[in-house]
Amino acid sequence: MEAFPLNHLPAERSYKGLSVTESAALFRRYIFIEQQCVRICAAWLLEAPMYEDKHILGYHLWDHAEHVQWMRERLLELRGGHAEADIAPTLKFALDEVLHARDVTELVAGLYGGVKQPLLQAYRDHVSMADTAANAGEIRILQRMIPDLENHLRWGEDIIKRCPTGHDGAVPWQRYIGDLLLRAGGIHGTLHVPPLRALERPHAHMHRRSAELKFDSRIARKPLAKYEERESMPHEQSVKAQFAVFFNELWAVGLLASVIVDSWDAGCPWEFQYDMAHHCWDELRHSQFGAIRLKELGEEPSRVDTFFFDQSQNWPFLHRLVYLTRDLEVFFMKRKSPRVLKYQQEGDGRSMIFADADWSDEINHVRYGTKWSEYFLKDDARTVEDIKEEIRVFIARQQAQAGVSKTDIPF
């Protein structure tokens, strides 16, 4: 099936290249699709039971956020208007449906096979239609995004191979998502739309944002060694205990993923979602630090303590954000510099580079929290201190209902 960049273009014309209007129309559509990929990856960071899949999905989430940022900046230069203002309901429905996969294999079939594969082809087609001088700005961006999507699809192929039933079990879902995208005119919005017929949805499952951070049977939910215990251990034992805590930063990944999902339809500016995606990716990398270092020291990641995630999931997303960035991360900050110095003094450069990167990231996270708590509290009678007090009330109420009193930091 042939597609043209816009409906009004003839099948053949005497010149190569796209006008500003044509380029902007295509970029608006790409931006919407990639934004929805951010949202879907965030939701599935909670659902995917294998921590390795969580790590990869976090990287993909950040790839999509960067793509959106690059394209939005270019759209401003193209007199491109509002990025989301003219998105067709059929395209929105198609991307909404992708979220409702029943497991990771179906997610990969629908999102990667049903959406990212044609998105990659659309980017390649765009480059081939563009003029190397007139459309140089768009070509540069597309050529940066294409390798990311190629990497995503290679991972998707590995996931399908890992599934006992292979791709066959997920074919109906991928076909359904593909048909929905076809009804929306394809990625470019210009494919011939076939006569409308009733589409049979392969199943009735509807995704609901999980209030649980899910793991497979390799990961036990057990307490971790507390800070004072870790500091008093011999060096190698202390390093193992500390990098188990790094791995455990998946709780922060989950908290931020829940913020992204819950704030998506709240009218938040894209810049907020972009910062949250960056923060989420940072925390995920910290968890990856833990997995890498533990394996180097002869251990596999084996436990998590999701206490902070669990207690916050019924709070408004603003309270979750303030709790993480202006309570917890501020509290933990005083440990960062001494840890880097300690590893340096021990001659443990490998641990030091991870701890040093973590320290820099956390400074940025406090900045995000300050920036966005002030944004959301503009014209609000409450202050950040009021939000912190509301959080303390939430926690006290939860503890009273559970019949416990747990006021100390668990790790």
161 and 230 part of one domain: no
> Which residue, 216, 6, 202, is CA-closest to 110?
202
Whether residues 102 and 224 fall in one domain: no
CB-based contact 170:140 (threshold 8 Å): no
Exposure of 160 in the CB half-sphere (CA atoms within 13 A): 21
Give the tokens for residue 357: 């990167």
* CA atoms of 127 and 118, how far apart (whole Å): 14
Does one domain contain both 36 and 88? yes
Hey, what amino acid is at 119? Answer: L
- In angstroms, the CA 86 to CA 185 distance is 14
At 221, is the secondary structure helix, strand, or coil? strand
**pLDDT one-digit tens code per residue, 42-79:** 999 999 999 999 999 999 999 999 999 999 999 999 99
- Indicate the pTM of the whole model: 0.94
235: pLDDT strictly greater than 80: yes
Number of compact structural domains in the chain: 2
Cβ(287)–Cβ(51) under 8 Å? yes
Both 158 and 251 in a single domain? no
Tens digit of pLDDT for each residue in 268-282?
Answer: 999 999 999 999 999
**pLDDT averaged over every residue in the chain:** 92
pLDDT at 6 > cutoff 80:
no
CA distance 47 to 80: 36
Q: Is residue 83 over pLDDT 80?
A: yes
Instruction: Please check whether residue 122 is in contact with residue 155, taking contact to mean a CB–CB distance below 8 angstroms.
Output: no
Q: Give the whole-angstrom CA distance, residue 301 versus residue 77.
A: 47
Of the two residues 227 and 12, the one the predictor is more confident about is 227
Average pLDDT value for residue range 181-210: 86
Report yes or no on 212 lying in a domain. Answer: no
Q: Where are the beta strands (DSSP E) in 123-282?
A: 220-221
Q: Do 266 and 375 have their domain in common?
A: yes
Query: Quick check: 353 pLDDT over 70?
Result: yes
Q: Is residue 164 part of a domain?
A: yes
Q: What is the mean pLDDT of residues 148-173?
A: 86
CA angle at residue 20 from 14 to 23, to 5 degrees? 85
Say if residues 315 and 394 touch (Cβ distance below 8 Å): yes
Q: Indicate if 38 and 142 belong to the same structural domain.
A: yes
| Domain span holding position 63 | 20-183
Please give the pLDDT value at position 9: 46
Quick one: 42 and 159 in the same domain? yes
**How high is the pLDDT of residue 53?**
97
For residue 159, is pLDDT > 60? Answer: yes
Kindly report the CA angle at 168 between 40 and 177, in degrees rounded to 5? 35
| Residue 126, C-beta contacts closer than 8 angstroms, at least 6 positions apart | 5, 18, 26, 138, 142
How far is the C-alpha of 61 from the C-alpha of 67, rounded, in Å? Answer: 10
The answer to whether residues 104 and 248 belong to one domain is no
CATH number at residue 58: 1.20.1260.10
Same domain, 247 and 393: yes
Do 172 and 252 fall within a single domain? Answer: no
Is residue 407 one of the residues assigned to a domain?
no
Inter-residue long-range contacts of 242-245, CB under 8 Å, 24+ positions, other chains counted: 242/339, 242/351, 243/289, 243/290, 243/293, 243/294, 243/297, 243/351, 243/354, 244/290, 244/294, 244/301, 244/303, 245/290, 245/411
Same structural domain, 235 and 371: yes
CB 376 within 8 A of CB 384: no
Q: 257 and 358: one domain?
A: yes
H/E stretch holding 304 = strand 303-304
